Amino acid sequence: MVLTDTELRSFDENGFLVLHEVLGSDELREIRQAADELCALDGDRIPEDWREDYRYGALVGAAVNTGSMLCRLEYPLAKDRRFLAMVANPAILAVAADLHQDEVVLTWEDMVVKTPGSGEPVPFHQDDLFQSRASRVFSIGVYLDDSTRDPLLVYPGTHQLGPLSESQVEAWVAAAKEPPLRVPVSAGDAIVHNVRMIHGSSANTSTLRRVVYLEFRTPDQVRYDSPWDEWWLERRLSIVPAAIRERAALGWGVNPAWKTAEAKTDWSVRIPPSPGDEVYLRVDHKDIAQRRQES
Ligand SMILES: O=C(O)CCC(=O)C(=O)O
């Protein structure tokens, strides 16, 4: 275990946990460079088969896919091997394994880009797209930039309300007696959040803020409590082993602050083996719905 009992209890009670210095300075520099390069692409310079992954305008609401301000980059692992290597950061995998107490599989990856002056807030919400209904899901948001002036805003404990509709979230927030809690962090830190905790952020008027969100579930959660099936799971299972190999190939270590993560984790036990040799780095979330329609 890398998380203490106090941290585990706090996560259960509040629905979020701050992890400091998950990325060391070298890894942070590499990931930022990868993000800079991908964010700098626009128009015809974006390879054709990546275009649908570049999202503009706002993450939610009427301004989704409007204008030219990048707000989200989907499926980053296939676009730069450094993002893939980051998935195998020992701190990230050890925290995921501690919180699930089981094998883990990556079920979501994207980069939120809050461009300064874009004016688009992230309205309060629970993450409900493709969600598990009966079991706990969490996402690890790795910060590439300081969020001091544009932090994540959370309502601690609200994951305990269970799944809510958009209008129920809106009503709950309107009636809340306390303002949301600001959770500012530094570049290289991460915030784990229970996807049911009500969270959001204001319009970014300060500096660029990018966060890579990595959601982990267990293979059985995917099998028995998710919209996906064994076909999708098999492809997803190839990602973490590929990330471990990529990280070793790049020679990336662990930030000294998380040395125990490396020492205490026996990856061969916690990471289910990939069912085949093929590596799938862009396993679309919508594939299952499309395949069901086609069959
Ligand atoms: O990083 C943020 O401001 C929130 C992003 C978020 O909640 C989401 O992408 O669902």
pLDDT tops 90 at residue 194: yes
Fold of 5-294: Jelly Rolls (2.60.120)
- Tens of pLDDT, residue by residue over 242-274, are 999 999 999 998 899 898 877 655 554 467 778
* CA within 13 Å, CB half, 8: 12
pLDDT tops 60 at residue 295: no
> Is 284 buried (19+), middle (13-18) or exposed (0-12) by CB count in 10 A?
middle
Ligand 1 pocket test target in 150, 152, 154, 194 with most atoms within 8 Å of CB:
152
* CA-closest residue to ligand 1 atom 4: 200
Q: What is the mean pLDDT of the chain?
A: 91
Predicted model pTM: 0.95
Nearest residue to 100 via CA among 18, 188, 230, 8: 8
Q: CB of 114 within 8 A of CB of 153? A: no
- Residue 71, ligand 1, Cβ within 6 A: no
**In degrees rounded to 5, what are phi and psi of residue 75?**
50, 55
- Residue 152, ligand 1, Cβ within 6 A: yes
Number of H helices, E strands in the chain: 11, 11
Ligand 1 pocket test target in 71, 112, 140 with most atoms within 8 Å of CB:
112
- Tens of pLDDT, residue by residue over 98-120, are 999 888 999 999 999 998 876 68
Q: Of 25-34, 50-59, 108-117, 286-295, where does the model show the most confidence?
A: 25-34
The Cα 135–Cα 34 span in angstroms is 34
| Contact partners, residue 241, CB within 8 Å, separation at least 6 | 271, 273, 274
Ligand 1 pocket test target in 64, 125, 166, 211 with most atoms within 8 Å of CB:
211
* CA-closest residue to ligand 1 atom 3: 201
Cα angle 185, 285, 173 (rounded to 5 degrees) comes to: 45
pLDDT tops 80 at residue 292: no
Q: pLDDT band at residue 63, thresholds of 50, 70 and 90?
A: confident
